[in-house]
Amino acid sequence: MASDTHRTFARAVQCPDDEIDLGRAALAIAQGEYPNLEIDPYLARIDLLATRVRDHASIESDPYRVLAATNYVLFTQEGFHGNREDYYDPKNSFLNDVMERRKGIPITLSVLYIEVARRAGLALHGVAFPGHFLVKYAAAEEEIIVDPFHGGEVRSMEELEDMLDELYKGKIAFQPDFLAPVSKSQILKRMLNNLRATYLRQGDFLRALSVAERLVILEPNSAGEIRDRGLLYLKLECFAQALEDLETYLRLALHAEDADEIREQVVFLKKLVTRIH
């Protein structure tokens, strides 16, 4: 049975992508850790931040003014910054914690930045740059790449290439596609993947499962997400649920590279579930 927090997340994301309220959906992710979290007060705080940005920008139609005002309010006045000291702290993935502690990882700071700027009148897009999420303003005549993790600095192409070399030791060559805008669903997926990876790193399979549930809600027809949830059920010895997910995976991805391995798991689980019942 779906929990109330899963239903809240489903309501936030089960609509056309351009209608997703990114701030609300990000806070719904945090409800997995904080079931009693009230979302609306945090959205009201984002509204207030945007009001201050509008007051400082004065000319809302000038993207540079709005970006400068957003940087001033978030990073100078409020002191938001990247959490370099404890990058893999799960709290960095929860927008409420980011707002309370004034620190986070690139993607959560980017979500806050996008939502504040949107309310201040400037449409921005998330950019899934390898290893470091960014924000982009795109118009017919120009693009501006902003790095919320580093105080809203505007990044040049040369700086982005240097960043990529530093992150991947020269193993990945820069491609223009790295700066393509991503959908709101893709932003939420990356947030959830980061969080699940953190929990798996900690061996916290129960919390990882809660994240996997949200990934399936976000992409209900994704064979890979259903498989990964099934494997987490298996680790937690929820054998009937694991069997259902893995059988579904095989129906959806009959010729997947790992199909034989998953079939072995299904055979094992069928015998186990029969024996238990």
Is residue 194 situated within a structural domain? no
**167/267 same-domain check:** no
Residue 219 pLDDT exceeds 80: yes
pLDDT band at 141 (very low <50, low <70, confident <90, very high): confident
Is residue 112 a part of any domain in this protein? Answer: yes
34-91 residue pLDDT tens? 999 999 999 999 999 999 999 999 876 789 999 999 999 999 999 999 999 999 999 9
pTM of the model: 0.93
**Residue 142: predicted pLDDT:** 87
Number of structural domains found in the chain: 2
148 with 48, same domain: the answer is yes
Residue 193 lies in a domain: no
Chosen domain end from 122, 152, 182:
182
Model pLDDT, residue 125:
97
DSSP notation for 62-129: -HHHHHHHHHIIIIIIS--EE--TTTT-GGGG-HHHHHHHTEE-HHHHHHHHHHHHHHTT---EEE--
88's tokens? 């893999």
Within a domain: 192: no
For residues 22 and 149, state if they share a domain: yes
State the pLDDT at residue 45. 98
159 and 257 together in one domain? no
- Examine residue 187 and state whether it is found in any structural domain, yes or no: no
**pLDDT confidence of residue 17:** 96
Segment 154-202, tens digit of pLDDT: 999 999 999 999 999 889 999 999 999 999 999 999 999 999 999 999 9
The whole-number average pLDDT for the span 8-22 is 96
Residues 247 and 133 reside in one and the same domain: no
Query: Which residue range is the domain that position 164 belongs to?
Result: 4-182
